[in-house]
């Protein structure tokens, strides 16, 4: 789960069932190579609702309704609080019933900087797809909806945000809405150790997250089984560090 993909670089096991249905056409953005995702078309212009299941059970991204994560973000711009909550509601996106995840970002004075509703769905192989977001940022008190997108609308396409069985070297696009949302990720490690206020996490998944829209920006994200995202940090293009402070599973 990327806590945020906004300014961005802020997540596949092969599936013979999906390979035939998630096929592309000539005018689409570049696809991930078969060596990275074993034949899945990512991003996909035409996801088949029959290839998806109800709910999300991926152990790296346990998006069970009622679960909540609290993060602290620190950077040269100050400290922010990020609360991620899996809502009970669902949303129909491109014919797929998606899980809705709310992402709230507050500044040190408790003012809302950003509110986002992300839409995710899991395929039958266990991969979690990212179907879009409705995001509102506040700049000088004025709302800004830039960055919002929905799979199947205005050329936007769903991508993978978390693999069912990550492998070092796997690369995949997380989303595609030209000029607005073009995040991508690569698996770097499955054996990291991360220390947070909640304790030590072992055998942590590490990804490198980037976007061609901001080529100088690179983030590393760290996911623990059964918990989800536990840390993210700017490697280049910034100095933000996001750390998990509290986790309340459903």
Containing domain of residue 153, as a range?
16-248
What whole-number distance in Å separates Cα of residue 3 and Cα of residue 152?
Answer: 23
Residue-level pLDDT at 141:
81
pLDDT tens figures, 210-241 = 999 999 999 999 999 999 999 999 999 999 99
Q: What is the CA radius of gyration of the chain?
A: 17
Go through 59-94 and write b for each residue having 16 or more CB atoms within 10 A of its CB, e for each that does not. ebbbbebebebebbbeeeeeebbbebbbeeebbebb
163 in a structural domain: yes
In a domain, 2, yes or no: no
Please indicate, yes or no, if residue 47 is contained in any of the structural domains: yes
Residue 49 lies in a domain: yes
Task: Determine, yes or no, domain membership for 178.
Answer: yes
d(CA 46, CA 196): 40
Question: What pLDDT digit, counting tens, does each position of 31-81 carry?
Answer: 555 445 666 889 999 899 999 999 999 999 999 999 999 999 999 989 999
The answer to the question of residue 5 being in a domain is: no
Mean pLDDT of the chain: 87
Residue 88 has pLDDT above 50, yes or no: yes
How many folded domains does the chain comprise? 1
In a domain, 3, yes or no: no
pLDDT tens-digit map of 3-25: 344 433 333 223 333 333 343 33
142 pLDDT band (50/70/90 cuts)? confident
User: What pTM, to 2 d.p., does this model score?
Assistant: 0.87
Question: How far is it, in rounded angstroms, from Cα 58 to Cα 174?
Answer: 16
**Which whole number is the average pLDDT over 125-144?**
92
What CATH code is carried by the domain that includes residue 86? 2.40.360
pLDDT at 38: 67
In a domain, 1, yes or no: no
Residue 36, pLDDT score: 55
């Amino acid at each position: 789960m990327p806590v945020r993909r906004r300014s961005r670089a802020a997540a596949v096991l092969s599936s013979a069932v999906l390979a035939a249905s998630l096929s592309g056409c000539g005018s689409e953005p570049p696809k991930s190579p078969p060596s990275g995702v074993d034949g899945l078309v990512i991003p996909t212009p035409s996801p088949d609702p029959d290839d998806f299941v109800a709910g999300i059970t991926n152990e790296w991204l346990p998006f069970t309704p009622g679960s909540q994560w609290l993060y602290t973000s620190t950077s040269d711009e100050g400290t922010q609080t990020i609360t991620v909550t899996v809502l009970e509601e669902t949303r129909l996106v491109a014919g797929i019933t998606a899980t809705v995840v709310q992402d709230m970002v507050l500044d040190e004075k408790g003012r809302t900087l950003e509110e986002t509703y992300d839409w995710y769905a899991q395929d039958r192989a266990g991969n979690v797809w990212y179907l879009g977001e409705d995001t509102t940022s506040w700049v000088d008190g004025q709302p800004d909806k830039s960055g919002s997108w929905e799979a199947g609308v205005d050329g936007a396409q769903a991508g993978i945000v978390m693999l069912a069985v990550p492998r070092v070297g796997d690369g995949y696009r997380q989303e595609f809405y030209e000029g607005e949302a073009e995040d991508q990720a690569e698996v770097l490690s499955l054996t990291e150790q991360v220390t947070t206020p909640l304790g030590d996490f072992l055998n942590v998944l590490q990804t490198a997250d980037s976007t061609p829209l901001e080529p100088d920006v690179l983030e590393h994200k760290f996911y623990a089984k059964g918990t989800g995202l536990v840390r993210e940090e700017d490697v280049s293009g910034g100095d933000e560090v996001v750390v998990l402070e509290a986790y309340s599973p459903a």
